[in-house]
Amino acid sequence: MPLSDQSLDRLRALVDDSVADQKKGIPGVTVVVVGKDGKDLFAHSAGKQGITSEQPMTLDNIFWIASCTKMLTGVACMQLVEQGLLSLDDGEQIENLCPELKDLKVLRSDGVLEGKKNRITLRMLLSHTAGFGYTFFNERLRDWSFPAGIDEFSSRIEDVTQPLLFQPGEGWEYGVGIDWAGIALERRTGDTLNTYLQKHVFQPLGLKNISMFPNEDMRAKLAHMHARDPDGTLRPRDHLLRRPLVVDLGNEKEIASVFNSGGAGLFAKPQEYTKVLAVLLNNGTCPITGSQILLLNLWAQVEVEVYKALSQ
């Protein structure tokens, strides 16, 4: 059902107002609302590509979609579950694919490391119940990592190989577990996560501006990153996920050295990401191309896991 002209005008005004203060507001923004039919109900950009840029923010700009990557990694893994190539609850399978998980320790609240008692399953990795965290959210994990620290955006697998915060399956913590789900997918299929997503998710949906390795055109249109000082003033900063933006796209060896982060690795045009959301609104089938990327019963399982995770 289309939005009324009055609603569209109000939405545009809200978006425009959000970028009015370029010192303490938002430099630039794109807002897209998609309908179940896959068509945009609302799409509007305002502001600039960055506070040091003279380029206006437009609907053609690219954003680092960060943790929005997690949903797409989940879809890809559920495709393999559907095909019988991965099991949601076979911990032996996951730890054989990812032997790094076998000997992980659990970092207790008193700072002592203890042995892992349970095997880690794909279901745990996808639902944030395996025990992994993020150092920028969890002080215990952050303090343990000193003095060198951990950079989950370094594009190195070593930085997601970290202690657990509880025994697998016995708690909930937002963290790098879905990065490990992506690693399991890579080792099961022989494809990189980016390659798999392109072949089995993005291409069937007709998406061309979404990738873990932005091409030169996407790089030129990338929204800048900023930091906010204590007084609220914005300042430019280096990109958190830098390596995919500077890697030589003609050097396959260099590209292969960059970890494909299933938890935060994708860059995309917002309208392309919302096209995936429309697929999920239609139980795994694209309303535009008719491509089915997940079966109904598998999507029902995904919804159950989401609700269970949110309730913890």
Q: Tell me the C-alpha distance between 100 and 211, whole Å.
A: 27
The set of residues, in sequence order, having a beta carbon less than 8 Å from that of 70 and lying 6+ positions away, is 178, 262, 263, 264
* CB of 251 closer than 8 Å to CB of 5: no
What DSSP letter does each residue of 133-164 carry, written as one string?
--TTT-HHHHHHHTTT---TTSS-GGGG---B
What DSSP state is assigned to residue 285? B
Residue 266's closest CA among 62, 22, 1, 2? 62
Is there a catalytic annotation at residue 257? no
Is there a catalytic annotation at residue 174? yes
* Catalytic residue chosen out of the listed positions 48, 70, 269, 275: 70
Backbone Cα Rg of the chain: 20
Is there a catalytic annotation at residue 70? yes
Q: Tell me the C-alpha distance between 138 and 135, whole Å.
A: 5
**155 — alpha (psi -120 to 50), left (phi > 0) or beta?**
left
The set of residues, in sequence order, having a beta carbon less than 8 Å from that of 58 and lying 6+ positions away, is 45
* CB of 284 closer than 8 Å to CB of 71: no
* CB of 293 closer than 8 Å to CB of 74: no
* Catalytic residue chosen out of the listed positions 87, 102, 174, 291: 174
Regarding beta strands 210-211 and 234-236, do their DSSP bridges make them parallel or antiparallel, or are they unpaired?
A: unpaired
CA–chain centroid gap for 253, Å, is 24
* Catalytic residue chosen out of the listed positions 36, 39, 67, 199: 67
H-helix segments, the chain: 5-18, 69-82, 91-97, 122-126, 139-145, 177-189, 193-197, 216-220, 243-246, 252-256, 270-281, 296-311
Please give the positions annotated as active site. 67, 70, 174
